[in-house]
Amino acid sequence: MKHDTLPVQIGHNLHKGIVGFPDRKHGGYSVLIVWLKKECKSGDDFAVSDIYKINDHIHFCDIESLETTIDVLNRLLREWKGEEK
């Protein structure tokens, strides 16, 4: 499998962070998955200066696309938690 076909991975101490913000350039909102210079525990705050590079950029053009993404992630979370019981 080529490197460019690998999925974006989150977790397993990969020194990654997630940041969301209003995207003034494109409108809507964006979420960046970033590589960090240091290890941070899940939920820890980090500074812009802690970012090494951007791994991926997800742009939401409208509320409906954001809501759909949140619904899918919430469904996955419920299923995953159900498997752990």
34 within 8 A of 47, measured Cβ to Cβ: no
Domain ranges of the chain: 3-84
- CA 77, CA 49: separation in Å to the nearest integer? 31
Average pLDDT over residues 74-81: 95
Q: pLDDT at position 51, please?
A: 94
Give pLDDT tens digits for 51-69: 999 999 999 999 999 999 9
pLDDT of residue 10: 83
Average pLDDT of the chain? Answer: 89
> What is the reported pTM?
0.80
Q: Which residue has the tokens 């964006």?
A: 30
Write out pLDDT tens, residues 2-22.
556 778 888 777 889 999 999
